Chain A
Amino acid sequence: MTAQDLDALYQEIILDHYKNPHGKGLRGDGASADTAEVHHVNPTCGDEVTLRVHLSDGADGRVVDDVSYDALGCSISQASASVLHDLVVGKSVDEAMAIHQEFLTLMQGKGTVEPDEDVLEDGIAFAGVAKFPARVKCALLSWMAWKDATARVIGTGGVAGKAGEGDN
């Protein structure tokens, strides 16, 4: 790769999120029924994330109340977790899953997918990462962990009657 490729990979937005990650640190109680915690590892490099999802009931179905995480890894995986937090917290689970799918499509597109800034916001900065197969897994680590954790909450029988019990 050339110096230009390097700049395409390490967009300023990514470096900013890396230096000042949003929503980092585990919050709340991982044990309640509307919460799930997962631990995902990238075995090739050893990057790790422990990620906790907290859902609540909203007017339009379940809502992502919080995504909190502890992560060890490269700038791409750290920045990606930060962007994930920005994009899905406060959204309905359905909306968040749609954003997840959009990000996945972008990352698996080998650099051919034009990202939609209205949907992905800062996430469009990862378009350059999609050209580096070795780094796609870094960008997807926390996203896959989020999807897994969310599926586990939904699978545990839901959050009915638990709304408002909160994030503490």
Chain B
Amino acid sequence: MVSPGSTGALEGLLPELAVIRKDFPILERTLAGGMPLVYLDSANTSQKPQVVIDTMVDHLERHNANIARAMHQLGAESTEAFEAARDKVAAFIGAPERDEVIFTKNASEALNLVANTLAWKGEHQVGEGDEVVITELEHHSNIVPWQLLTQRTGSTLRWFGLTDEGRLDLSDIDELINERTKVVSVAWVSNMLGTVNPIAQIARRAHEVGAIVVVDAAQAAPQLPIDLAAMPAEERPDLLAFTGHKVVGPTGIGVLWGARAVLDALPPFLGGGEMIETVRMEGSTYAGIPHKFEAGTPPIVEAIGLGAAVEYLGHIGLDAIHAHELAITGYALEGLQTVKGLTVLGPLAAADRGGAISFELEGVHPHDIAQVLDSRGIAVRAGHHCAKPAHARFGVQSSTRMSSYLYTEPREIDALVEALEYTRSYFKLD
């Protein structure tokens, strides 16, 4: 492992890391006992740069009005800012069309929108005899909506298992994804194991059999460059979901991107204001995308904050952020494995791995680890991380997870490793 003194030499780190850290005011604060904050819980939620905070405050202070219906100057400004945010999100993921970007409450709602509307009559309707394929490493929000769909429609839910290393076991891909498969929904990056899944390979197979491909990009969007338009059509997902608060944006805003043909074919999700073309008592016709899926007043300032967030990440560059995450993750994997009794769950090499690292420390429960780390200002997550099946696969009930982001420094990893040694001594492990 690189010694603490020589971490400046760690390759791949963002060159302006010190400047970037200054963009995030919360990183300056101290916690109880004067401890400086070491924030290693970014896979849970990321911190927010000043530009996102300022953009949201400015909107509320100067431009606040409802969108798309207020016939006054503020309404026009608000609508323009909201739709500009959609453009920024479209650019962030390289969406072929900006109208394919649907604002939702979060990634869960985006996935539920898809799983819910697939139950209804239409070109893509899932019914008896059909199959939906997911994986064992999914977040609960990419499991439960599909359980609901398959239970309600009499279809069958199937899933890819995992290898001991924590990667998808694709050995039975041609059997698992077959002519009965209507939907394949898979996380791009696992929130627990960190695994980066081969979504291009999975999408190719799914498209061969005519299935729709849904990608949960909640953990991928923060750290991998995404350019949907540049992907070969057969490898491009049909639908992709992510949440704003993990990409340095606010909570309460998420994104569903979908190919126009698929979104046009799906029936509406929520009914209400803004999603209609015309309403009569006998029945209604619906607006085109994106409004068809945006019933009611949306989270306006949150969307605008998300626009500022993805623009900020775009300025730094997702390639550079990804390289930074790889460097920090590699450094953390090395450091963690020097701690006696510590077992990393998931791939041990930084390549094809995201910045979330879950681990067990023999003899100490994750909650107790997190509590001791917190007393030293270090924030991590402990528990099942909404991925109970993935934990069960590895025979563990819960784990501790550290997750880095573009503002994470090597010295914070050093602090974590040192605090884990302290935890061992606190609980009197030899």
Choose the segment among B74-82, B91-99, B362-370 that binds chain A (4+ C-beta atoms closer than 8 Å): B362-370
A1-B375, A3-B33, A5-B375 as given contacts; A46 in contact with B383, CB under 8 Å:
yes
Residue of A nearest to B31 (CB): A1
Do B33 and A45 touch across chains, with their CB atoms under 8 A apart?
no
Do B397 and A74 touch across chains, with their CB atoms under 8 A apart?
no
Do A46 and B375 touch across chains, with their CB atoms under 8 A apart?
no
Residue of A nearest to B384 (CB): A46
* CB of A47, distance to nearest CB on chain B (Å): 8
Do B368 and A44 touch across chains, with their CB atoms under 8 A apart?
no
Which among A5, A10, A15, A132 is the interface contact of B32 at CB below 8 angstroms?
A5
Do B375 and A3 touch across chains, with their CB atoms under 8 A apart?
yes
Give residues of chain B (372-394) contacting chain A, Cβ–Cβ below 8 Å. Answer: 372, 374-375, 382-384, 388, 391
Do A46 and B397 touch across chains, with their CB atoms under 8 A apart?
yes
A1-B32, A2-B375, A73-B365 as given contacts; A46 in contact with B398, CB under 8 Å:
yes
* CB of B425, distance to nearest CB on chain A (Å): 12
User: What interface size band does chain B fall in?
Assistant: 20 to 34
- Interface residues of A: mostly helix, strand, loop or mixed? mixed
Which among B32, B364, B383, B427 is the interface contact of A45 at CB below 8 angstroms?
B383
As a 0/1 sequence over residues 280 to 315 of chain B, the CB contacts with chain A under 8 angstroms (1 = contact) are 000000000000000000000000000000000000
As a 0/1 sequence over residues 1 to 41 of chain A, the CB contacts with chain B under 8 angstroms (1 = contact) are 11101100110000100000000000000000000000000
Do A135 and B365 touch across chains, with their CB atoms under 8 A apart?
no
User: What interface size band does chain A fall in?
Assistant: 20 to 34
Q: How far is the CA of A65 from the CA of B348 in the complex (A)?
A: 50
- Interface residues of B: mostly helix, strand, loop or mixed? helix
A6-B375, A45-B367 as given contacts; A15 in contact with B427, CB under 8 Å:
yes
Note all chain A residues with C-beta closer than 8 A to B367.
45, 47, 73-76, 135, 138
Note all chain B residues with C-beta closer than 8 A to A6.
371-372, 375, 426
- B428 contacts chain A at the CB level, 8 A cutoff: yes
- A86 contacts chain B at the CB level, 8 A cutoff: no
- A48 contacts chain B at the CB level, 8 A cutoff: yes
- A163 contacts chain B at the CB level, 8 A cutoff: no
Give residues of chain A (99-148) contacting chain B, Cβ–Cβ below 8 Å. Answer: 132, 135, 138
- A98 contacts chain B at the CB level, 8 A cutoff: no
Q: How far is the CA of A120 from the CA of B246 in the complex (A)?
A: 45
Q: How far is the CA of A78 from the CA of B364 in the complex (A)?
A: 12
Name the residue among A3, A44, A47, A48 with the largest chain B CB count within 10 angstroms: A3
- A72 contacts chain B at the CB level, 8 A cutoff: yes
Q: How far is the CA of A9 from the CA of B364 in the complex (A)?
A: 15
* CB of B393, distance to nearest CB on chain A (Å): 14
Residue of A nearest to B422 (CB): A3
Do A135 and B371 touch across chains, with their CB atoms under 8 A apart?
yes
Q: How far is the CA of A44 from the CA of B381 in the complex (A)?
A: 12
Q: How far is the CA of A72 from the CA of B395 in the complex (A)?
A: 12
Do A45 and B384 touch across chains, with their CB atoms under 8 A apart?
yes
Do B426 and A10 touch across chains, with their CB atoms under 8 A apart?
yes
Give residues of chain B (19-52) contacting chain A, Cβ–Cβ below 8 Å. Answer: 32-33, 35
**Given A46-B388, A47-B367, A47-B398, 5 more pairs with CB closer than 8 A:** A15-B428, A45-B382, A45-B398, A75-B368, A76-B368
Which are the 8 A-B pairs with shortest beta-carbon distances?
Answer: A2-B33, A74-B367, A74-B365, A6-B375, A46-B384, A45-B383, A46-B398, A2-B32
List 21 interface pairs A-B (beta carbons < 8 Å), by A numbering: A1-B32, A1-B374, A5-B32, A6-B372, A10-B368, A10-B371, A45-B367, A45-B398, A46-B384, A46-B391, A46-B398, A47-B397, A47-B398, A72-B397, A74-B365, A74-B366, A75-B367, A75-B427, A132-B371, A135-B371, A138-B367
Q: List residues of A whose CB falls within 8 A of some B CB.
A: 1-3, 5-6, 9-10, 15, 44-48, 72-76, 78, 132, 135, 138
